[in-house]
Amino acid sequence: MVKKRTIWPYLLVAPAVLIIVCVVFIPVLNAIVMSFQSYDLRRPKDIAFIGLGNYQAIFKDSLFWGALWRTVVWVVCGVGFQFLFGFILALLLNRSFTGRGIVRAVSMIPWVTPGVLIGLMWRWIYDGNFGVLNDLLMRFHLVSAKIPFLSQVSTAFPSVIVTIIWQGIPFFALMILAALQGVSTEMYEAADIDGASPAQKLFFITIPSIKNTIFVTALLRVIWVANSVDVIFNMTEGGPAYSTQTLSVYIFNKGNALNLGYASAMAILLALVLLVVAIPYLKMSFGKEE
């Protein structure tokens, strides 16, 4: 009788565990195994175990270090500004005004638009000859000559970062807005009685009340943005001159070239970097609370 009770819950969760194992764990294990092999489908007869060969080659690869640095910039700037503008948007959407429902819905558009479409759309916005951005800049005499945003090294990366910021603002706004609903209004009333300024209420009531949401949302976005390929790939494919090639784009390009061993090794390294960031972050964010 006791044995049946113990086994029953495990049997019920078994299908879900099976799916997760098949879809997540087996491919990850596969990637780890491939990272120790010269797994190049262009030369299938040369596939063999090479130990740390791929990793040694990666550490000597200047493109890898360049891509890693650009990934850091991509994440810090991308997520940082997404948070800043998303927070401001959430505070605005938390106020009552006519048409707030419509504004809330419309502000979600960047988030619900597929990444491929965003990449193509912004590519044409930035186009150096016929793009609408150049047209507006010229009409308002803000520039004297059209800017080839995606064609020159100095402007290509900032341009794609602006695009990813645009895409991610609604997610932060949505999560923070939801968290703001849970902040007690009595605290604001008490603060008003004590003569607190709006800035004091923001920093001493609002932000502390929603900080867990901010931490979790930021961590999720760091991981998603670090791993994202679609926007950059559809805008620049990592060019010109590798100036927009983040590590995930480099991994994608290597995988596309069918050098799966090398691509897998880089993917493992990216995962380790994200773990190194995520674990201390979580400890720091939630450790104080405990």
Partner 1 sequence: MKKRKLARKAAATVMAAAMAMTALAGCSSGNGQSNSGGATTAADTAAATTAAAADTGSAATAGEVTIKFRYWADNTDYSQLMQDIITKFNAENGKGITVVGEETPWDGGAYSENLFNVKMGGGDIDCATWKLTSTPLFVNNDLLADLTPMIDTWADKNDIDDNIYGIMKEAGGSDQIYVMPWNIQVLYVYYRPSIFAQAGIEVPKTYEEFLTAIEKCTMDTDGDGKTDVYGFGMRGAKGGQEPWGSFIYGRGGSFEDMTTAGAVQGMQDFIDIYTKGYVPPTATSDGFNEIIANFQSGLTAMTIHHTGSSANMVTALGDDVSAFPFPAGTGQWTSMGDTETVIFESCKNKEAAFEWVSYLATGEGQKLWCEGTGNVPVSKTLQASEFFQNNRFMKASIEGQSYAGILPILDTTTEWISTLWPNTVSQALTGSITASQCMQTLQDGLYQ
For binding to partner 1 (CB under 8 A), which residues are involved?
Answer: 8, 11-16, 18-19, 22, 26, 30, 33-34, 37, 39, 41-45, 47, 49, 127-130, 145-146, 148, 150-153, 156, 236-242, 245, 253, 256-259
CB of 76 to partner 1, least distance (A): 24
CB of 245 to partner 1, least distance (A): 8
How many Cα atoms are found within 13 Å in the side-chain-facing hemisphere of 93? Answer: 26
Nearer of residues 43 and 100 to partner 1, judged by Cβ: 43
Nearer of residues 110 and 240 to partner 1, judged by Cβ: 240
What is the rounded distance in angstroms from the CA atom of residue 256 to the CA atom of residue 77?
28
Asked if 159 and 128 touch (Cβ cutoff 8 Å), the reply is no
Q: What is the greatest pairwise CA distance in the chain?
A: 84
What is the rounded distance in angstroms from the CA atom of residue 45 to the CA atom of residue 34?
15
What does residue 258 show for φ and ψ, rounded to 5 degrees?
Answer: 70, 15
Nearer of residues 138 and 187 to partner 1, judged by Cβ: 138
Q: Which of 125, 113, 215 is nearest to 162 (CA)?
A: 125
Nearer of residues 22 and 136 to partner 1, judged by Cβ: 22
CB of 157 to partner 1, least distance (A): 13
Q: What secondary structure letter does DSSP report for 145?
A: S
CB of 2 to partner 1, least distance (A): 16
CB of 28 to partner 1, least distance (A): 12
Q: What secondary structure letter does DSSP report for 40?
A: B
Nearer of residues 110 and 115 to partner 1, judged by Cβ: 115
3-state secondary structure of 43: coil
